[in-house]
Structure 1
């Protein structure tokens, strides 16, 4: 096999801005060699057997030197591997890619350059700052502030808009040089830290005020924008989005968060995913397997969650069966999402209760429950017992079988924990009682490690949003309050409730 090295720009931190070409190459990679500022969620895009090598360089920290990086690219390329050299932003903007390319050429290695969106362009845009304007900015310059002594400040002071990368540590020297060369002390300046990520933070000031504003704050990694265009920030932003400027913490299982996150982002929110559930197969398949072999003896199959649908049909397939095995059984589901998952298997539910909660299923059941034989694949432990109790009270024979289990992750997501500590979170969403319980336990675990923290002060300014009454009850019990409750007990209903709350 002929190896090849792809020097790929990953864009800014948000995965939404990775190119389609970059994403495809990652899916085919044998070896991934990546930088420090690359979003680690990108690692989920490579094959499981891909070798992942972190060669990131950060100032003051142990790092891989450039010669070693060059050698790694050459070694794996000559072994016939498809190597993705992933760089933050664009690979040819302050990325030392030329050194890697020259080393590859010298070693006779094939390579390809794949552009990425540079933070020099994306960070100002995502902060709502235009780099050019018909009246006040006819040009802009991108520069590195790593060593201000190498720059021509006479020329730079005359340019309408300056975009400075790697300049946070030299901010004082940069401002001094511009003022010395005639730039006004009232010139607007913006500092954008972690541009495009959930942790994005923006400081707006002037050349004479900004140093005091950011005193004692860690700014790296940051993009600095200097020029009158900074004052246009509010003109260029999408102020009509209802959740604009809000950071929403999502507490769902990791594999369930993405679609919800995307919808919230479309409404203007910055989202942070904090998995508060782990969804796993049951400890034993025996009960479900036996029930599947006896499917023809049941009158009804009840599915109350997308997880129930997923694991039930996976097991059905594992046992050599498909949806045709359900031909003589009626199916009841709770919630539109569960119904949608069922339709993915070519089946339409016979009954969906109107209020999207399990209790409503019994109240509105379309047939007399007496002597009905019901199969109920459910979570192994911790689910609500009232549904089964009410079905049995009405004369039904219910066989409960574990189809999956949900547990609490061992550790809190570090990005989420940092955002909570720094008071960056505005809203926390809870889609089940278990997510409330596990969020509480994970937070308590961290607080117990630091006696200076307490839950009340950490969450005092945070809005709690609940998907429905049962989740709200757990919120009141463990967190003391609920600020928003969905009227329709679905994720769509929860989003509508968030929008209504922010609009009033």
Structure 2
């Protein structure tokens, strides 16, 4: 029987930009991905269509899958000839039990690779403005687990060596045992004034930092109701945070944004928001189903006076169809329009001048191009401009395998903002939310709402979603400016 190969991959601490190139390449080839709670689910977007996802999340009080079952699944899927990725938060070799999983694969004679990742004990402090070593403050650094296999889960460590011999210590998942940690460090000679910094959800836009000392931090955690996942950093090097904190100063830091996804891929808007420090959840996730093109429409392309593209993807799909059907683009004599600025920009990238549909003139023969659901959602708007025909490039369906992933993302975040980039995004999101009980339309109305353009505002009003703030211009820079001003106020 043909055997596959397993890749035991470090996903990094949260920010998906911190995964290694080699780790990302493994995800892009995967046929099965077993992923942990602390591996950012957005990384699954890079997996091929029809990849099987298996959640292996663990919480201190409950495990979705026991470690023995995870080992069995790794062996079973790899032995079945699959390319298997075991996606683990941070670095798989740092308290990730990768040794046990690799042993199970090796014992069964299966091929595997270990791909390191950036560990949270280094990345989270850096995102909080604290390097873990510095010539003036700390030349030694230790990574320590705050839990072990003992009956009470309290680590039996060389506390004297840690207290007297190590300048900076990063405790993983240390909130539950924080009192135990502080008591032992104090009793073994660490000064009570030693700074302690807790970093929750490090490298995410929802990162939260709590500062204190060995004497005060336990009370502070109780007062703030601070919880895992968090890194507990002990050491004088924390004094650098005041000088070089950078991530938490980004203009959109703290924004937890829901962004309706109308296309197949991560949008440029999502990337721009994340670059400014926001956490962005794009929903829903789509899958494309190809269909046989309408050759009658293709045979009379020269007859249309106006052609409207409903999405950026419809541009790509349409011109791919022209290539496959060997149709010369010069047969198109029509004026070109996009239902959104993104669609207009996609046409411009093809070297074709286009304008938004607001500038469409009445009369003439109109062709509306897009996926089946985009045409359905936008055709009513086109009626205002006269008679039209439609050309369906594909059927786009909500990928329901991502619904439980979406729920987990919502459970770990606290949404405060929703952005509607186009009129089509309004019914798309409302309809998609019906497939999940994690977020209702009424809950949506409690968030800060932003939208692009008059058509999008009208679509919101039609669905009784009030109070949206419309950007001055239907552009990403205009939106970023509005969000940043609101965050500062």
Normalised by the length of structure 2, the TM-score is 0.80
Greater shift in the superposed pair: 171-180 or 464-473:
464-473
**Cα root mean square deviation, aligned:** 4.0
Alignment counterpart, residue 272 of structure 1, candidates 272, 280, 298 = 280
**Counterpart in 2 of 1:226?**
234
Go from structure 1 to structure 2 and tell me whether the alpha carbon gap of 1:435 and 1:279 turns closer, same or farther (over 3 Å shift): farther
**Counterpart in 1 of 2:171?**
164
Distance 1:7 1:469 in 2: 49
**Counterpart in 2 of 1:366?**
none
Greater shift in the superposed pair: 215-224 or 272-281:
272-281
Conserved? CA contact 1:120–1:163, under 8 Å:
yes
The alignment status of 1:291 with 2:297, answered yes or no, reads: yes
Go from structure 1 to structure 2 and tell me whether the alpha carbon gap of 1:231 and 1:440 turns closer, same or farther (over 3 Å shift): farther
Go from structure 1 to structure 2 and tell me whether the alpha carbon gap of 1:209 and 1:108 turns closer, same or farther (over 3 Å shift): same
Distance 2:197 2:190 in 1: 15
Go from structure 1 to structure 2 and tell me whether the alpha carbon gap of 1:386 and 1:43 turns closer, same or farther (over 3 Å shift): closer
Conserved? CA contact 2:57–2:65, under 8 Å:
yes
Q: Give 1:226 deviation, angstroms.
A: 1.8
**Counterpart in 2 of 1:331?**
335
Greater shift in the superposed pair: 114-123 or 4-13:
4-13
Q: Give 1:90 deviation, angstroms.
A: 1.4
**Counterpart in 2 of 1:20?**
21
Q: Give 1:406 deviation, angstroms.
A: 8.2
The alignment status of 1:116 with 2:117, answered yes or no, reads: yes
Distance 1:233 1:406 in 2: 47
Alignment counterpart, residue 494 of structure 1, candidates 464, 479, 483 = 479
Distance 1:93 1:449 in 2: 35
**Counterpart in 2 of 1:237?**
245
Conserved? CA contact 1:34–1:87, under 8 Å:
yes
Distance 2:285 2:56 in 1: 32
Go from structure 1 to structure 2 and tell me whether the alpha carbon gap of 1:138 and 1:76 turns closer, same or farther (over 3 Å shift): same
Alignment counterpart, residue 213 of structure 2, candidates 187, 206, 213 = 206
Go from structure 1 to structure 2 and tell me whether the alpha carbon gap of 1:418 and 1:38 turns closer, same or farther (over 3 Å shift): closer
Go from structure 1 to structure 2 and tell me whether the alpha carbon gap of 1:382 and 1:6 turns closer, same or farther (over 3 Å shift): closer
Q: Give 1:141 deviation, angstroms.
A: 1.3
**Counterpart in 1 of 2:46?**
45
Length, aligned pairs only: 471
Q: Give 1:487 deviation, angstroms.
A: 2.8
**Counterpart in 1 of 2:360?**
361
Q: Give 1:21 deviation, angstroms.
A: 0.9
Distance 2:197 2:140 in 1: 17
Distance 1:126 1:491 in 2: 25
SS across alignment from 1:380: helix
Distance 1:132 1:109 in 2: 39
5 Å matches for 1:30-429? 30-48=31-49, 50=51, 52-75=53-76, 77=78, 81-147=82-148, 148-158=154-164, 159-215=166-222, 217=225, 219-238=227-246, 241-253=250-262, 255-267=264-276, 269-275=277-283, 289-303=295-309, 305-313=311-319, 316=322, 320-322=325-327, 324-334=328-338, 336-343=341-348, 346-349=350-353, 351-352=354-355, 356=356, 358-362=357-361, 372-377=364-369, 379-383=374-378, 385=380, 387-389=382-384, 391-392=385-386, 398-401=387-390, 403=392, 413-414=406-407, 417-418=410-411, 424-429=414-419
Larger radius of gyration: 1
**Counterpart in 2 of 1:480?**
466
Distance 2:54 2:254 in 1: 35
Go from structure 1 to structure 2 and tell me whether the alpha carbon gap of 1:281 and 1:84 turns closer, same or farther (over 3 Å shift): closer
Distance 2:46 2:484 in 1: 32
Q: Give 1:292 deviation, angstroms.
A: 2.3
**Counterpart in 2 of 1:468?**
453
Q: Give 1:27 deviation, angstroms.
A: 2.8
Per-residue deviation, residues 418-470 of structure 1 (Å, max 9, x unmatched): 47xx7x445432212343456567779989999xx9759x83xx543221223
